[in-house]
Structure 1
Amino acid sequence: MATTLDPVTSADVVVAGAGPGGAAAAAHLASLGYDVVLLEKDRFPRDKVCGDGLTPRVVGEMLQLGMVDEAHGRVDGWATQRGLRIHGGSTVMELPWPELDDWPSWGATATRKVFDEAVARRAQAAGAQLHEGVAVTGPRWRDASQSRAAGVTWRDEDGREGEVRAPVVIAADGASGGLGKHLGVTRRSDRPMAVAARTYYRSSRSDDPWISSFLDLTDAAGNLLSGYGWVFPLDDGTINVGLGLLSTSKDFQAVSYRKLLGSWAGGIADEWETTEANRTDAIRSGPIPMGFNRTPLHQRGVLLVGDSGGMVNPFNGEGISYAMEAARLAADVVDRAMTTKRTADLDAYDRELRQRWGGYYTLGKVFAELVGHPAVMHACTTYGMPIRPLMELVFKLMAHLTDRHPSDTKDVIINTLSRLVPAA
Structure 2
Amino acid sequence: MSETAATSPSVRESADADVIVVGAGPAGSTAAYYLAQSGLDVLVLEKSAFPREKVCGDGLTPRAVKQLIAMGITFEDPAWVKNHGLRIIGGGTRLELPWPDLAAYPSYGLVRTRQDFDQILVNQAVKAGATLMERTTVTAPLIDARSNRIVGVQAKNSDREPVTYRAPLVLAADGNSSRLSVAMGIRKRDDRPMGVAVRTYFTSPRHDDDYLESWLELWDKSSGKDVLLPGYGWVFGVGDGTSNVGLGILNSTASFKDVDYRKLLRRWADSMPEEWGFTEDNQVGPIRGAALPMGFNRVPHYSRGMLLLGDSGGMVNPFNGEGIAYAMEAGKIAADVVVQASSRLTVAERERTLLSYRSILSDTYGGYYTLGRYFVKAIGQPEFMKYATKYGLPQRTLMRFTLKMLANLTEPSHGDAMDRLINGMSKITPAA
Task: Tell me how far apart the structure 2 counterparts of residues 131 and 369 of structure 1 sit (CA, whole Å).
Answer: 41
Q: Is 1:261 aligned with 2:275? A: no
Q: How does 1:158-197 map to 2 (within 5 A)?
A: 158-197=159-198
For residues 74-122 of structure 1, what are the alpha-carbon distances to aligned partners after superposition, in whole Å with 9 as ceiling and x for unaligned? 6542111111110011100101111101111111001111211100111
1:297 pairs, out of 283, 298, 301, with 301
Report the counterpart of residue 331 of structure 2 in structure 1: 327
Contact map agreement 1:225 1:251 (CA 8 A) in 2: no
What residue is the counterpart of 2:280 in the other structure? 276
Q: Is the Cα–Cα contact under 8 Å of residues 226 and 371 in structure 1 kept in the other structure?
A: no
Alpha-carbon distance between aligned partners in 2 of 1:406 and 1:271, rounded to the nearest angstrom: 46
1:286 CA displacement: 1.1
* 1:367 equivalenced with 2:379 (yes/no): no
The equivalent residue for 1:32 is: 38
Indicate if the aligned counterparts of 1:151 and 1:167 stay in contact, CA closer than 8 A.
yes
Alignment partners' CA distance in 1, 2:229 and 2:362: 31
**Which residue among 54, 60, 66 is the counterpart of 2:60?**
54
User: Residue 97 of structure 2 corresponds to which residue in structure 1?
Assistant: 95
How big is the shift at 1:271? 5.1
In 2, are the aligned partners of 1:226 and 1:373 still within 8 Å (CA)? Answer: no
2:352 is matched with 344
Structure 2 residue corresponding to 1:306, chosen from 303, 306, 310? 310
After TM superposition, the structure 1 = structure 2 runs for residues 22-421 of structure 1, keeping only pairs within 5 Å, are 22-68=28-74, 76-142=78-144, 144-145=145-146, 147-218=148-219, 222-270=226-274, 272-340=276-344, 341=347, 342-421=350-429
| Letter matched to residue 61 of structure 2 | T
Distance 2:219 2:311 in 1: 27
Please state whether the residue corresponding to 2:212 is helix, strand or coil: strand
Letter in structure 2 aligned against 1:339: S
Shift of 1:145: 4.6
Give how far 1:235 is off: 2.1
Q: Which moved more, 1:116-125 or 1:151-160?
A: 151-160
Q: Which moved more, 1:275-284 or 1:262-271?
A: 262-271
Q: What SS does the corresponding residue of 1:292 show, helix, strand or coil?
A: coil
Q: CA–CA distance in 2 between the matches of 1:68 and 1:164?
A: 34
Which runs of 5 or more residues in structure 1 are unaligned? 1-5
Secondary structure of the structure 1 residue equivalent to 2:256: coil
User: Root-mean-square deviation (CA), in Å?
Assistant: 1.5
Kindly state the Cα deviation for residue 9 of structure 1 after the two structures are TM-superposed.
2.0
Cα distance change, pair 410–271 in 1 and its aligned pair in 2 (3 A): farther
Deviations 1:177-231 (A, max 9, x none): 1110011111111110000000000011111111100000245664434521000
3-state DSSP of counterpart to 1:282: strand
Distance 1:147 1:41, change over 3 A: same
CA distance in 2, matches of 1:303, 1:344: 14
Deviations 1:377-423 (Å, cap 9, x if unpaired)?
11000110000000000010000000100331111111111111100
Q: Equivalents in 2 of 1:252, 1:161: separation in Å? A: 40
Question: In the aligned structure 2, how far is the partner of 1:92 from the partner of 1:18?
Answer: 38
User: What is the alpha-carbon distance in structure 1 between the residues aligned to residue 53 and residue 302 of structure 2?
Assistant: 28
Q: Which letter maps to 2:94? A: V
Q: Is the 8 A contact 2:219 2:271 kept in 1?
A: no
Quick one: structure 1 residues 94 and 271, their matched pair in 2 at CA, closer, same or farther if it must change by over 3 Å? farther
Identity over aligned pairs, percent: 49
Indicate the SS of the match to 1:141: strand
What CA distance in whole angstroms lies between the structure 1 residues aligned with 2:147 and 2:381? 45
Residue correspondences, number: 415
On the 8 A contact 1:225/1:245 being kept in 2, the answer is no
CA contact (8 A) 2:61 2:108 kept: yes
Distance 1:89 1:399 in 2: 21
From the superposition, tell whether residues 412 and 23 of structure 1 become closer, same or farther in structure 2 (CA, over 3 Å). same
Report if aligned partners of 1:225, 1:374 keep a CA contact under 8 Å in 2.
Answer: no
Change (3 A) 1:415 1:225: farther
For 2:387, the aligned partner's letter is A
Deviates more, 1:271-280 or 1:11-20: 271-280
Corresponding residue SS for 2:208: coil
Structure 2: 5+ residue stretches without partners: 1-11
- Aligned equivalents of 2:231, 2:342: Cα separation in 1: 43
Instruction: Please list the CA deviations of residues 332-381 of structure 1 after superposition, one character each: whole Å capped at 9, or x if unmatched.
Output: 00011101152232111111011000000000000000111100011000
Distance of 1:179 and 1:49 partners within structure 2: 21
Q: Structure 2 counterpart of 1:204, which letter?
A: P
2:4 corresponds to which residue?
Answer: none
1:3 counterpart residue number: none
